[in-house]
């Protein structure tokens, strides 16, 4: 199978592109001695966890289910952070995870006895209240009234006994200059406590595998922190692991006209690429440009009954025809982990393109029962 013949819609993840990212991350690990984990909330294609585990130190999770998946399929270190842990899950979380990061001192006090008895590493998420991003507030943990992490004002030095690490996560698709700015704020407020810690976790949002990412600054910064405080440094990127490593292949089902040409695809923004609507953002398309740049402009839209199920306006060199393929790029991340079956839409198949092979293999197919099983 090829991109031109595969069932649509399908997510197709490319081994060669994934390895390219993993090698960059490995280079950062080798240069600095830091440890890097896959943030599974971004990319949970567990069939490739063994490959990722050859490069990275393990996984991080947003709760029990992701933690179990990471432990089962990648192994290595299993970390977990949640805004709040549930009483009825904490025993299993402590069994599965090596590092548990609490979001507040009240959560820490609630679970401290159990956590310390389990012998696992316990950490606290800090909120350095240093926003370095503009535009999408829903992705800014340092935005006003954020529930993510402990602020300086809420910090309680007297409760640190048993805590072996501090964690912050404040970035989203950012370069290393934003990390430097964040670390200045972090050190100013929490630096003194870091001397008594074993580790510090810089969270995710580091766009390390993007072409223009300044990796020298990242490497220098990690080394400085490791030496100054004598701590292990963890990074837990999601996006950087699978950035630009996969596509979503779709087919044109119909073309209608209402003030402009509108192509209805067999993939949906609402169901299969919700970040296009939530973030929002415009995914690149192979052969598609900005409206008007090529002679034929179309609005690309999904087949659901949500009027706003629109991916965006794109222009093409030739007119689109029913049956043509439209291939969306950078669709490995925050796609299959977020998709849904609204309108009874099927989920895209998940496929894998092996390195040095032309053909693509479908790893998982979905159907009616996947829709039905989530309902009653």
Question: Going residue by residue from 64 to 93, which x/- string records binding to ligand PLP, judged by CB under 6 A?
Answer: -----------------x------------
Closest distance between ligand PLP and the C-beta of residue 233, in Å?
Answer: 14
184 contact partners, CB below 8 Å, separation of at least 6: 130
Which two tokens mark 316? 């093409």
Are 234 and 34 contacting, i.e. CB atoms less than 8 angstroms apart? yes
Report the residue from 236, 266, 309, 330 that binds ligand PLP according to the rule CB under 6 A: 236
Would you state the structure tokens that stand for residue 34, as one six-digit string? Answer: 């830091």
Closer by beta carbon to ligand PLP, 94 or else 242: 242
Query: Applying CB under 6 A, which of residues 39, 96, 276, 320 lies at the interface with ligand PLP?
Result: 39
CB-nearer residue toward ligand PLP: 243 or 345: 243
Stretch touching ligand PLP by CB under 6 A, among 18-26, 91-99, 235-243, 341-349: 235-243
The response to whether 239 counts as a known ligand-binding position is yes
Least Å distance between CB 167 and ligand PLP?
7
Residue 123 as a binder of ligand PLP (CB under 6 A): the answer is no
Whichever of 101 and 194 has its CB closer to ligand PLP, that residue is 101
List the interface residues with ligand PLP, window 170-209 (CB under 6 A).
172, 203-205
What are 72's two structure tokens? 């089962």
Beta carbon nearer to ligand PLP, 205 or 274 = 205
Contact 208, 240 (CB under 8 A): yes
274 binding ligand PLP? (CB under 6 A): no
Task: State which residue, 40 or 247, has the beta carbon closest to ligand PLP.
Answer: 40
Q: What is the C-alpha separation between 18 and 100, in angstroms, rounded? A: 28
Q: Which of 261, 247, 260 is nearest to 321 (CA)?
A: 261
> CA dist 155 to 127, 149, 150, 193, Å?
10, 10, 6, 11
Who's near 66: CB < 8 A, 6+ residues apart? 40, 41, 44, 59, 80
Least distance from ligand PLP to the Cβ atom of residue 348, Å: 20
Other C-beta atoms within 10 Å of 51: how many? Answer: 16
Annotated binding-site residue? 275 = yes
| Residue whose CB is less far from ligand PLP, 172 or 222 | 172
Among 6, 22, 38, 42, the residue binding ligand PLP under the rule CB under 6 A is 42
- Residue found by looking up tokens 């992490």 in the block: 149
DSSP 145: T
Q: Residues 360, 353: contact at Cβ < 8 Å?
A: yes
**Rama region for 88: left / alpha / beta (φ>0; ψ in -120 to 50; rest):** alpha
Q: Which is nearer to ligand PLP, 8 or 32 (CB)?
A: 32
Angle separating helix axes 176-194 and 215-229, nearest 10 degrees: 0
Q: In this chain, which of 35, 41, 79, 120 binds ligand PLP, going by CB under 6 A? A: 41
Task: Find the binder of ligand PLP among 238, 246, 283, 302 (CB under 6 A).
Answer: 238
Number of residues that bind ligand PLP (CB under 6 A): 14
Contact between 210 and ligand PLP per CB under 6 A:
no
In angstroms, the Cα distances linking 273 to 183, 184, 295, 354 are 33, 35, 27, 24
Does residue 69 contact residue 97 with C-beta atoms inside 8 Å?
no
Query: Which residues in this chain contact ligand PLP in the complex, by CB under 6 A?
Result: 39, 41-42, 81, 169, 172, 203-205, 236-240
């Amino acid at each position: 199978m090829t991109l031109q013949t595969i069932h649509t819609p399908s997510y197709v993840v490319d081994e060669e592109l994934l390895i390219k990212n993993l090698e960059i991350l490995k280079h950062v690990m080798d240069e600095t001695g830091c440890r890097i984990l896959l943030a599974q909330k971004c990319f949970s294609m567990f069939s490739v966890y063994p490959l990722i585990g050859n490069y990275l130190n393990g996984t991080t999770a947003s709760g029990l289910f992701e933690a179990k998946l990471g432990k089962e399929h990648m192994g290595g270190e299993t970390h977990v952070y949640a805004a709040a842990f549930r009483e009825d899950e904490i025993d299993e979380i402590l069994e599965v995870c090596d590092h548990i990061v609490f979001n507040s001192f009240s959560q820490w006090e609630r679970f401290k006895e159990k956590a310390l008895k389990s012998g696992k590493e316990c950490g606290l998420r800090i909120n350095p209240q240093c926003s370095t991003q503009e535009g999408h507030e829903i992705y800014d943990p340092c935005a006003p009234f954020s529930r993510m992490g402990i602020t300086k004002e809420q910090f309680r030095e007297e409760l640190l006994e048993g805590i072996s690490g501090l964690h912050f996560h404040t970035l989203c698709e950012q370069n290393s200059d934003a990390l430097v700015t964040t670390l200045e704020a972090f050190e100013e407020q929490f630096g003194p406590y870091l001397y008594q810690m074993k580790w510090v976790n810089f969270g995710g949002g580091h766009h390390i595998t993007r072409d223009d990412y300044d990796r020298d600054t990242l490497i220098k910064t990690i080394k400085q922190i490791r030496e100054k405080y004598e701590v292990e440094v963890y990074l837990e990127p999601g996006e950087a692991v699978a950035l630009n490593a996969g596509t979503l292949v779709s087919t044109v089902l119909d073309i209608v006209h209402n003030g402009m040409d509108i192509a209805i695809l067999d993939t949906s923004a609402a169901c299969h690429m919700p970040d296009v609507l939530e973030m929002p953002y415009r995914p690149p398309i192979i052969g598609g440009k900005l409206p008007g740049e090529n002679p034929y402009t179309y609005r690309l839209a999904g087949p659901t009954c949500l009027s706003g199920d629109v991916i965006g306006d794109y222009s093409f060199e030739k007119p689109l025809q029913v049956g043509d393929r439209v291939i969306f790029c950078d669709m490995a991340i925050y796609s299959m982990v977020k998709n849904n079956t609204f309108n009874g839409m099927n989920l895209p198949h998940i496929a894998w393109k092996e390195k040095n092979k032309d053909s693509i293999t479908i790893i998982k197919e979905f159907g009616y029962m996947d829709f039905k099983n989530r309902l009653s």
